[in-house]
Chain A
Amino acid sequence: DAKTTQPTSMDCAEGRAANLPCNHSTISGNEYVYWYRQIHSQGPQYIIHGLKNNETNEMASLIITEDRKSSTLILPHATLRDTAVYYCTPKAGGTSYGKLTFGQGTILTVHP
């Protein structure tokens, strides 16, 4: 399984963009990059995923480097409710045939 490296913690001002990096240099060709977040020990919440192309949805944008060794999750206008632990995790195939492997994640704190 691919190993991921994320900063332990990051801060962001409310209303500004939060850019969360993740290194996954050993990711396999068939592994997607998934991002989840966990708020106050609730169950993890899916944010976005991608394989090669950049992706955007109503929550965030995902930028994947051309060599696929790293990615960045972008929350365009962070709010206080975005304070959470953010996990980057690879998953083979992108469907139910793969499994998620969570690291320690990045603690994002959004300040007023």
Chain B
Amino acid sequence: DARVTQTPRHKVTEMGQEVTMRCQPILGHNTVFWYRQTMMQGLELLAYFRNRAPLDDSGMPKDRFSAEMPDATLATLKIQPSEPRDSAVYFCASQGQASRREYFGPGTRLTVT
């Protein structure tokens, strides 16, 4: 089965460091979503792209977060500088143009100390 992959699966870093998370959507999918999950806030949509163009990033703190799709096979979410409150699991999901469902990756568990 085709799957969304995310790297790294786990990341521990110190406050102030830059963090980059990567996502490889399912081949041929043209929409990519980034979510963040914490105990307090649950699953929140941070941003999403269609055909590599950002459509909505209203859920993302603009001062320290940035999301890009350098090409159709790679999406990145960057935090600079990272803070302890950014500790969460970050999920990437992709969806095909004619599909009605999102496919989620396994997530990146980020811990900022």
Contact = CB atoms under 8 A, between A and B. Distances in A.
Interface string B29-45: 01101000100001111
Contacts of B99: 95-96
Given A49-B100, A96-B97, A102 B43 contact: yes
B56 A43 contact: no
Contacts of A105: 42
Interface string B56-100: 100000000000000000000000000000000101010111111
Interface residues on A, range: 20 to 34
Interface residues on B, range: 20 to 34
Nearest to A89: B43
Interface in A76-91: 87
Nearest to B29: A96
Given A101-B45, A102-B42, A96 B30 contact: yes
Contacts of B103: 46
Contacts of A104: 42
Contacts of B33: 99-100
A79 B38 CA distance: 27
Contact of A41 (B45, B89, B98): B89
B97 to A, nearest CB: 6
Given A32-B100, A96-B30, A43 B93 contact: yes
A42 B98 CA distance: 25
In order of increasing CB-CB distance, the 7 nearest A-B pairs are A43-B104, A102-B43, A96-B31, A46-B101, A96-B95, A94-B100, A44-B104
